[in-house]
Amino acid sequence: MSEARPLAGSSVRRHDGDAYVSGRIGYTDDLSLPGTAHVVLVRSDVPHARITVDVRDASTRPGVLTVATGRSLAGEYGPIPNAMDPVPTGGQPLEIHVLPVDKVVYVGQPVAAVVAESLAQALAAAADVKVHYEPLPHVMDPEAALAADAPLLYESWGSNVMLSGTVGSGDVEAAAARSAGVIHGTLRTGRGAPAPLEPRAYCADWDARTRRLTWYGTTQAPHPLRHTIAEFLGLRERDVRVVAPPVGGSFGFKNFGHPEEYLVCVLAVALARPVQWTEDRASTLRYGARDSRLAYTASYDDDGRVTSVACDMVANHGAASATGAFGMAFAGSLAMPSGYQVPDFRCDYRVVVTNKGPWSPLRPFGKEAGVLLMETVMDAVARRTGLDPLEVRRRNWVKADQFPYVTTTGLELDSGDYEGLLDKALTVLDYAAFREEQARARGQGRYLGLGVGFEVLPEGADIPGALIGASDISTVRMSPSGDVTVLTGVTSPGNGNDTAIMQIVADRLGVAMDSVSIVQGDTDICPFGFGNVSSRGILTGGGSAALAADDVAAKLRQVAASMLHVDDAERLVLRDGFVSVDGDLEQALPIAVVAHALYTVGYIVAPDVEPTLESTRTFRMRNIRHHADDDGKIMPFSTFSNGIYLSVVEVDIDTGVVDILRHVMVHDCGVMINPRFVTGQFTGGVVNGIGAALTEEVLHDPDGRQLSTGFKTFLLPRASDVPAFEIQHQVTPSPFTPLGTKGAGEGGVACTMASLLNAVNDALSPLGASITELPAVPHRVLAAIGGGQR
């Protein structure tokens, strides 16, 4: 029998790619349930005020079914459930209502919901909602919000600090005192925002006869959302069905905990009919991320080895939210000191609320802060010691023979070869030749720079006390005709993980891809799962599907062994639609024939085999640790993908414009099920990183009004801003997953931010200038040049 190429590890096309590109995919906003009413939200015009809402005129407009306010709902509904609760870790209690009861804390916060027969009628009536504001002092800057006399967003807290903490170990002060040199610095990142092609959209349908709610919408986590909707409405989980139609991108934004997810449920129950809401782009951009200040002190020895790092992080969360976004500050702190051997490390972090819109989870969930800090430190040490930046990294990396390696923040890095990443990158980019070109260009008045970015990304999270877990359940069943169905709790935000899971199952059962279908995103049909967060789709969803497929394959072998009169079922090979003895097609049966035989004449051909070809299996990461060690540390992440990126830029010192000339990246996410999809993930991550480093920033005026309300004012990278990427892969398998896979969904963002920052500063170094705040937009570059030349 000829050796067939395995499907797993092959860059097969998406199983539904034609439907996506031809417009046959139906999104949430395409739903058209009979009798659907439409919601328009009335939003606050001021950043901080007591409010009184008058809906009398709006309620009498044609087609209006109801107008809800926070006060009208407060008697029946309390705060929405939190995706993560900061209280167990010493944070403040969060009480987020579907609509604010008596106070707004940011411009654009919904204050009323108008429901009408048509969207046009709801829009017309919304204009008649009257909101009386009693303005309160507002604060937009997190450091100003820490002042003793700062206005308080939530008076019961007594301060504007939602959560604070410290990670690390050792004595950074003592280490600095005995080191050869000490570096001080501050980094700032501007406020980013999620920008999926599809904004959020939710539709709830209440059946008053069965007292059952069906919810449709853009969610990454149907089962956790079902749990929280049932809790909020006082229903049993079995009386709530959550369906996630195809999702047009998420980047973490469409995890659960948004007030509108629950608001449509309240309105549907009140009206006993479907209620639908779709977000506009301005609303999407009100949710932010990053927007942090990192003050650091690092010490080093003459040989370029970093001896300590201390960091003080202040994160501008904006208003409080129930999405668990505050966890990004903790994740960013925990991700330090990356894959470097830093014996003494401490990060103090504070999550501060201000009168900006709330944070939302955003790829790579805060870890960019840790990467930016460590990569800035490495370049700073190189400048101080006169060593090459690449050599400094080599001297500080964890070596390939040191794994597993426990960082000073308590993470156990399981595998990797960081020097191998760099070696591979240098086969693509001739480093010495670039330095020669750079010197010639400087003689011509051109400013080229090369920057290095290295990242280790903790992924596959399991958060204690939250519905975010490092396990998943899959069901694999084969019909009498040999068709295969996979049911999984993993959802797809459009990244192709469904196709990859189908590849895994098809491979293990020896059938063609077109024999396999997959069902995702329906809590009535799919087994419980934590959805698609923390790059866990293939880690746990693929792992459990592989285990279930192996069970079905074992049954097929047992049945076929009886039919082929073979004593040892392990001799049977499943491949290309046949079960054969040692791969010999002269002794083979079609898999469909074996399946049909078990269902129809099982008592004859295999009386000892259960008469169904179906298995449900759970895969759980075994390296998670929630019990604190002697230093109080836990291990909430299960895999650690890593990568190194080299960016070459040219800076126009007259305009401040940064042009990316080359971007070389080598990434290691373990075994790749579909290399094309992995490359696509990293390509998207790099574009996210380019935006965060050079163009994307949500701006506000002094009165708290958001100036960035669309793609004319929130500048995503254009195609002309993006070079042709040079992408390589390295494979060091995870020892903790059945397939050797690691996470691949968050890579590229942080590394690109760091490599571009370092490249710009390398280009500006002859002028004595440096950038310490991202994005490096032209006015910041020009200001740095002006400051450096003075």
Q: Is residue 511 within 8 Å of residue 577, measured between CB atoms?
A: yes
Can you give the pLDDT at residue 519? Answer: 97
Q: 134 φ, ψ to 5°?
A: -110, 95
Q: Which residues are CB-contacts of 155 (< 8 A; sequence separation ≥ 6)? A: none
Query: Which tokens go with 385?
Result: 């010691």
- List pLDDT tens digits, range 751-788: 999 999 999 999 999 999 999 999 999 999 999 999 76
Strand partners, 204: 215, 275
Distance CA 149, CA 153 (A): 12
* pLDDT value at 603 more than 70: yes
User: Residues 580-605, buried b or exposed e (16+ Cβ, 10 A)?
Assistant: bbebeeebbbebbebbebbeeebeeb
What CATH number should be reported for the domain whose range is 17-23+471-620? 3.30.365.10
Can you give the pLDDT at residue 790? Answer: 43
Q: Largest Cα–Cα distance in the chain?
A: 92
* pLDDT value at 207 more than 50: yes
Strand partners, 239: none
E strand segments, 301-381: 306-318, 344-353
Distance CA 423, CA 645 (A): 12
Question: Cα 126 from chain centroid?
Answer: 34
Of 633, 759, 685, 693, nearest to 365 by C-alpha is 685
Q: Which of 333-342, 529-538, 548-557 has the lowest mean pLDDT?
A: 529-538
Q: What residues does each domain of the chain span?
A: 17-23+471-620, 31-136+195-285, 287-463+627-789
Residue 20, amino acid: Y
Q: Which residue has the tokens 């629950």?
A: 262
Of 194, 261, 259, nearest to 222 by C-alpha is 261
| Cβ neighbour number for residue 424 with a 10 Å cutoff | 17
Can you give the pLDDT at residue 2? Answer: 40
> C-alpha distances in angstroms, 606 versus 565, 568, 670?
11, 14, 40
Which helix H or strand E contains 192, and what residues bound it? strand 181-192
CATH code matching the domain that covers 31-136+195-285, chosen among 3.40.50.2000, 3.30.365.10, 3.30.1360.120, 3.30.360.10: 3.30.365.10
Give the helix ranges, DSSP H, for 218-299. 222-233, 259-271, 281-286
Query: Which tokens go with 160?
Result: 């504007």
- List pLDDT tens digits, range 659-677: 999 999 999 999 999 999 9
What CATH number should be reported for the domain whose range is 287-463+627-789? 3.30.365.10
Instruction: Enter the DSSP assignment of 10.
Output: S
> C-alpha distances in angstroms, 304 versus 307, 333, 391, 406, 571?
9, 23, 8, 21, 57
Indicate if 287-463+627-789 has the same CATH topology as 17-23+471-620: yes
- List pLDDT tens digits, range 302-340: 999 999 999 999 999 999 999 999 999 999 999 999 999
Q: Which residue has the tokens 């991320």?
A: 289
* pLDDT value at 789 more than 90: no
Q: Is residue 103 within 8 Å of residue 52, measured between CB atoms?
A: no
Distance CA 59, CA 9 (A): 59
Q: Which residue has the tokens 């063609």?
A: 512
* pLDDT value at 218 more than 70: yes
Q: Is residue 761 within 8 Å of residue 770, measured between CB atoms?
A: yes
Of 141, 253, 145, nearest to 192 by C-alpha is 253
Can you give the pLDDT at residue 17? Answer: 86
| Cβ neighbour number for residue 190 with a 10 Å cutoff | 21
Sign of the CA dihedral 231, 237, 240, 242? positive
